Chain A
Amino acid sequence: MTLSEPSVPRRRPRRHGKMTATLLMLPPALILFSLFVIGPLLMAGYYSFFHWNGYGTPQDFVGVHNYERAFHHSIFWVSVRNTVVLLLVSIFIQMPIALALALAIYRKTPSNALFRLVFFLPFILAEIAAGLIWSFVFDGNTGLVAGITHALGIDPVFILSNRDFAFYAICLVVVWKYFGFHMMIYIAALQAVPSELIEAARIEGAKRWAVIRHVQIPHIRPAIVVSGFFAVIGSLQLFDVVIPLTNGGPSNQTHTIVSYLYTFGLTRLNIGYGSAVGVILFIAAVIVAVAYQWHLNRESAK
């Protein structure tokens, strides 16, 4: 272009750099994800139309029979009912407790930090460990419940073997395990409320309760919605806690959807049937996610 001396030999930015980078860096994620997430999901849809024990290729096409079977199986409905109970307990008992505790200890003081740590502790334990710990607690012979009944001089109680109450015991364990998680979400949100807002409300004449009702709770509403979303998704997926506590019993009364799927699909090698249940669970999750997204869109449009 000009006659100026060529200075340092200039390395040309390679035009195909983009292409190379894309072709090198994107496929691992796509392959891994397709192979172990989307693939199995699509296969679940496919298998759900077959009667198949998992060996060879599925041949025995049965149409929607697997779905019909699920909808006619009383235990399936028990698992659905249990999941709904769990969901209601999570939202109407666990979340309010978590919110009350968050309001009590959101301020940064040493004693609050200690309480926060204690309340969060169950969340960091493995579900399976939590389940085992509580199966000991509930054990009518040797557990804490046994100790209490023993001290009161009444007959041992085996709550986990009780058809009517076993699932409520599971709900209690779930509350124990997860309330700290919801509490932490609220605490983070409460700490983000500007202190001037609360001071302004106090000057306007708001007492403690009015501050909570008119300033703090409206301000952390998005966090409450998020935690509700997690509670619903978590209820749909609950499995690990159930296995050590009741393994679905007594007489299959404490199954959740996933433990039902595991018990009636995999352990009995009804791959087709289990897949159908998986698809139903998937649809439920999608409905929840869509509802949540719809809610978020409506909020942000406001």
Chain B
Amino acid sequence: MTEVRLSQIRKSFGAVEIFRDLSLTVPAGSFTVLVGPSGCGKSTLLRMIAGLEMPNSGGIEIGGRDVTEAEPSDRGISMVFQSYALFPHMTVAQNIDFGLRLAKVAAPERKRRVAQAAQILDLERYLDRKPAALSGGQRQRVAIGRSIVRNPDVFLFDEPLSNLDAALRNQMRVELAELHQRLKTTMIYVTHDQVEAMTLADQIVVMNAGRIEQVGTPSALYERPATTFVARFIGSPRMNLLDGPLAQEQGAATCGIRPEHLHLSEDGPWQGRVTVAEYLGNETVIHVASEVGDLIVRQGGQANLGAGTPVRLTPETDRLHRFDSAGLRL
């Protein structure tokens, strides 16, 4: 079980500064997800941990060892790429075996480990195929297999599921979660999809424009977002953020309330009209133009509300989130 610690990282590409002073600790054995919009620096951060990018200053420690200057292969990490990065001219078995062969592991041992990885990932039937003859999900599993056989201290994942279709993505998400439970190895996972982050992580790191907005468990981030950015980013449909008189009443610059904490009622304090009601089967997402601003309301089951229907809304006032003018939680 290995901890990863980044301290006071500064990184720039030419004149463009990505990180000014970034520090982060990834606890040993955790499944930590770096999440944020594209361009926030999450992939660069992962690539610095991998050793594919060098920080301009600052230090990186893996398992208490300073690896800031170390080669990628000397860091005890493995990485799964967004495009899988399988070697097209090698068979599945050769792909999985590649790192072991370079590390000059003895042949019987290599064979054993490849077979074991293939078994874990249900790839035994495909060992002699080339990547081109595999489906997207199978390729993804080969890429993971290549990571597993080296028994790394830390697994790195760079948006590994973004090239898969929705159904397969869900399935692979479950498989990854199971893999983590089985191996208990530290995993660092980059995604822009907050659903992946919420479902996989035991620690989420929300990043925005080269800064860490908040680090915490999924429920901490959901229940107590530290900034308006996190409030907006985590949760779907997203949190209603209101400023104006309502926020001032609460002594805040911005006030937030999640769609499920707003209820349609006969005598609610806020009046408005339905603009669109999206029926999703188990619930309906209702968009309301109200006197306090545009709101999204989430309601179980079906609601027969045509556009223009007047409604009244009751907020759960104890579920209000308050933020100051800098966007920080009060």
Contacts and interface: CB of A to CB of B under 8 A. Distances in A.
A196 B81 contact: yes
Interface in B136-185: 146, 150
Contacts of A200: 79, 81, 85, 87, 146
A205 interface: yes
A204 B89 contact: no
A210 B87 CA distance: 13
B79 A214 contact: no
B98 A201 contact: yes
Given A199-B52, A201-B98, A204-B98, A219 B89 contact: yes
B81 A204 contact: no
A148 interface: no
B16 interface: no
B102 interface: yes
A196 B102 contact: no
A197 interface: yes
B73 A204 contact: yes
A27 interface: no
Contact of B79 (A194, A203, A206, A219): A203
A274 B83 CA distance: 57
A268 interface: no
Contacts of A215: 87
B89 A218 contact: yes
A204 B72 CA distance: 8
A202 B53 CA distance: 12
Contacts, number: 59
A163 interface: no
A100 B209 CA distance: 41
A197 B103 CA distance: 18
B78 interface: yes
A107 interface: no
Contacts of B90: 218
Given A204-B146, A205-B99, A194 B85 contact: yes
Contacts of B81: 196, 199-200
- Contact-residue size bin, chain A (C-beta under 8 Å from the other chain): 10 to 19
A221 interface: yes
B77 interface: yes
A65 B200 CA distance: 83
Interface in B38-80: 50-52, 71-73, 77-79
A210 B102 CA distance: 8
Residues of B contacting A: mostly: loop
Residues of A contacting B: mostly: helix
Interface in A183-204: 194, 196-197, 199-204
B99 A196 contact: no
Interface string B178-206: 00000000000000000000000000000
A190 to B, nearest CB: 15
A202 B98 contact: no
Contact of A202 (B73, B82, B88, B146): B73
A196 B89 contact: no
Contacts of A219: 88-89
A203 B50 contact: yes
Contact of B71 (A194, A202, A214, A221): A202
A219 B89 CA distance: 7
Contact of B73 (A197, A206, A221): A206
B85 A199 contact: yes
B14 to A, nearest CB: 13
Interface string A209-235: 010001100110100000000000000
Contacts of B52: 199, 202-203
Given A196-B81, A210-B102, A214-B98, A202 B87 contact: no
A121 to B, nearest CB: 31
Contact of A197 (B72, B85, B102): B85
B63 to A, nearest CB: 17
Contact of B102 (A199, A206, A218, A221): A206
A73 B71 CA distance: 63
Contact of A196 (B71, B73, B78, B85): B85
Contacts of B98: 201, 204, 206, 214
A203 B77 contact: yes
A211 to B, nearest CB: 10
B15 to A, nearest CB: 17
A198 to B, nearest CB: 9
A205 B73 contact: yes
Nearest to B102: A205
Contacts of A199: 50, 52, 72, 79, 81, 85
5 contacts: A196-B83, A199-B72, A200-B146, A203-B51, A205-B99
Interface of B: 50-52, 71-73, 77-79, 81-83, 85, 87-90, 98-99, 102-103, 146, 150
**Which 8 pairs, one residue from A and one from B, show the smallest C-beta to C-beta distance?**
A204-B99, A205-B73, A200-B85, A196-B85, A218-B89, A205-B102, A203-B72, A196-B81
